[in-house]
Structure 1
């Protein structure tokens, strides 16, 4: 028996046009799920959905800004019912290089904080709000939110981002206690540096990469598949008795009890 089998499940993955989200979508499809591939950029969403359908799977690419509750609700209404939600959209939303300039927090203002909080916290709230009524009605659901070790241990120059991710984790713990009786589990996966298009410019420099890897006992950066493996587990029935937890997938970068 394949305990990771997701045949008959519909999975919505936000921010799935590249990187970790793309790999999560591919993993879920490879295990039988029908996948709604969401991304702010329509071309990216459709490309990933095309990869899945070309390989014999079922998928649709949908453009939607997760910071807009009405848009998220419409996406779910048009492509549901959703059995599994993976809140993967992150960073500063559609910004191509959100870390290109990171001034000290005391030199920033609400206009700088909004993209981080909007995507990483309100995006999670919006997508969860959109899918939960159907999950409660059917008595089944999985919500997996991708957070960051910046939200667990803190990172310099990423205070707002880390705060938003910590907020998403706290929300998930509270939600898990609220919806467990309806057969719904809610968990998080906390990542450290993963080799995605967003981080590629930094780790392409051998000296920068060498310094960064000093903090990793396993001496390598993560791959999208490392993250997707954990998400797939929590999204499947293999994790049916796991809820309210945060699973670190970080190469040992942050080791806490």
Structure 2
């Protein structure tokens, strides 16, 4: 289907992981507003279904697709028969937010979880969607990454940063390997986003003072960047890491 200028993703099917809240919700809403049908993934079916219903109420097209992205069998069952044109790999924070810890004191199961969620899940989903994209001659893969991938931070997120950096490396290779088949792959490395704490909290205020534009990022801004990368207008961008951080160097 030829996309309309006001709805550049008309006729495309997008999968957004971790889209039941926060940044993922913003991404799913923006892709739907741009004309895509959105498969809203979340670990919790109630969250996935609620966001899908919210999108439909706004005039978009979406359905809930709850599964654990770290579960290979669940991912295959959920995604295997879908013709996914746009994969936005957003799920990246473990239930409960994970446990920040200095690396030498970090239990192996904690850093393994970060690898499973932020690297292996991306690899798995990319393997599931790329063959169909290549057959159709068009596809978009977008990793939601973090500034923690490119700068060392003394806040206990070494494993998270390492896993995100691995995902960015994978994206670069995918873009080069599959660009000739009409598929682009890019990463959006986020800075500090809304939701890191309560407004007026002194700790949050200190973080905001470190952002040159004087505020935190908004989920819709990430969503609009995803729309651009997924559209024909963003088709020249491939195998890149783009930092959305207001000029700050701090991680998400």
Same fold per superposition (TM over 0.5): yes
SS at 1:40 equivalent:
coil
Cα root mean square deviation, aligned = 1.6
> Aligned runs of 1:101-250 on 2, under 5 Å?
101-156=99-154, 157-196=156-195, 199=196, 202-250=197-245
- Residue 205 of structure 1 and its aligned partner are, at CA, apart by 4.9
How far residue 3 of structure 1 moved from its aligned partner, in angstroms, is: 6.9
SS of alignment partner, residue 120 of structure 1: helix
Per-residue deviation, 1:227: 1.2
Partner Cα separation in structure 2 for residue 169 and residue 83 of structure 1: 20
Distance 2:100 2:27 in 1: 29
1:74 to 77, 84, 105: 77
Name the SS for the 2:91 alignment partner: coil
Residue of structure 2 in register with 1:87 after alignment: 89
Contact 1:4–1:233 (Cα < 8 Å) also in 2: no
- 1:97 aligned partner: 97
> 2-side partners of 1:241 and 1:147: how far apart?
20
Structure 1 residue 53 corresponds to structure 2 residue 86: no
Query: Deviation at 1:238?
Result: 1.0
The alignment of Structure 1 onto Structure 2 pairs a total of residues equal to 246
Q: What is the CA-CA distance between 1:4 and the residue it aligns to?
A: 5.8
Cα distance in 2 for residues equivalent to 1:160 and 1:122: 13
Offset, 1:152: 1.6
SS of the equivalent of 1:208 reads helix
* Cα deviations by residue, 1:157-199 (Å, 9 ceiling, x for unpaired): 1110000000000000011111011000000101011113xx2
Gapped regions of structure 2 (runs ≥ 5) = none
Residues in 1 aligned to 2:62 and 2:7: alpha-carbon distance in whole angstroms: 18
Q: Aligned with 2:187: secondary structure?
A: strand
What is the rounded CA distance, in whole Å, between the counterparts of 2:73 and 2:6 in structure 1? 35
Give 1:97 shift: 3.0
**Deviation for aligned residue 1:206:** 2.4
